[in-house]
């Protein structure tokens, strides 16, 4: 089991290959459909002009430079002192972000994307160019994964709703598997190709 600390240097990303199991440590950011659409429309394809957008853009550039974004819609609890805790933190399906992810990876110099189900060609190409990797988290283990979240550092765009907000979290030994690497390899593509061949065999 490898241990990586965010921000992750390029050489450590290039050393990863599909099938590697990793414990992630450090500060990462959650982001789903609303967050990705927002980043594309307000930061990447258009220059931010609103002061709040400008401030958030600068903060995200700092957090995501060499960093990791997690496709997650958490269940959270607000504590008596006003702080937040994660109750459940399972991954959500990543392919919905395929239309956005390559641009987000490039713009923010992302090194990792966490989710479930894998992604497609545009993201895989971005992983090669950046470099970056796709980390597969364990579906159905939301409560277990939440135990890796040691602190909610901040939250942005809470007006999107709790699942779609951008939660800044500090994780310790967050368990993931590399399923798309910076060398053009994708376990998801391999499984699909093998499944199609098996299907052809079965149906004659």
DSSP for 22-45 reads: EEEEEEEEE--HHHHHHHIIIIIS
Lowest mean pLDDT among 52-66, 122-136, 178-192: 178-192
Q: For residue 141, report the phi and psi dihedrals to the nearest 5 degrees.
A: -125, 40
Q: What is the C-alpha to C-alpha distance for residues 81 and 175, in angstroms, rounded to an integer?
A: 29
The percentage of residues in the chain with a pLDDT greater than 90, rounded to a whole number, is 88
What is the per-residue pLDDT for 143?
87
Question: What mean pLDDT comes out for the span 130-152?
Answer: 92
**For the chain, which residues make up each domain, given as ranges?**
2-203
Candidate list 17, 36, 57, 136, residue with the active-site label: 36
Distance CA(172)–CA(178), nearest Å, equals: 17
pLDDT digits (tens, 9 = 90+) for 1-55: 899 999 999 999 999 999 999 999 999 999 999 999 999 999 999 999 999 999 9
Distance CA 57, CA 44 (A): 10
pLDDT digits (tens, 9 = 90+) for 70-101: 999 999 999 999 999 999 999 999 999 999 99
Tokens encoding 147 = 């135990």
Whether the full predicted model's pTM is greater than 0.85, yes or no, is: yes
Show the tokens assigned to 88. Answer: 């459940």
Tell me, what's the pLDDT at 199? Answer: 45
Length of the chain: 204
CA distance 64 to 88: 23
> What's the average model confidence in pLDDT over 169-178?
97
Separation of first and last alpha carbons in the chain: 42
**Average pLDDT in the chain:** 93
CA dihedral of 88, 89, 90, 94, whole degrees rounded to 10: 150
CATH topology of domain 2-203: fumarase (3.20.130)
Catalytic residue list contains 36: yes
């Amino acid at each position: 089991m490898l241990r990586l600390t965010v921000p992750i240097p390029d050489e450590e990303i290039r050393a990863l290959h599909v099938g590697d199991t990793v414990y992630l440590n450090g500060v990462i950011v959650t982001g789903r459909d609303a967050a990705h659409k927002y980043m594309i429309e307000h930061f990447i394809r258009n220059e931010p002009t609103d002061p709040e957008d400008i401030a958030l853009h600068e903060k995200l550039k700092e957090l995501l430079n060499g960093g990791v974004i997690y496709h997650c819609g958490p269940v959270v609890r607000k504590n008596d002192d006003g702080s937040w805790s994660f109750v459940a933190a399972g991954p959500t399906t990543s392919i919905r972000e395929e239309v956005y992810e390559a641009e987000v990876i490039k713009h923010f110099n992302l090194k990792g994307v966490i989710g479930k189900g894998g992604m497609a060609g545009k993201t895989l190409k971005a992983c090669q160019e950046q470099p970056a990797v796709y980390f597969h988290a364990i579906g159905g283990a939301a409560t277990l994964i939440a135990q890796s979240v040691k602190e909610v550092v901040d939250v942005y765009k809470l007006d999107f709703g709790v699942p779609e907000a951008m939660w800044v979290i500090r994780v310790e030994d967050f368990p993931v598997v590399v399923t798309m690497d910076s060398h053009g390899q994708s376990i998801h593509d391999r499984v699909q190709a093998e499944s199609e061949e098996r299907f052809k065999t079965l149906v004659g």
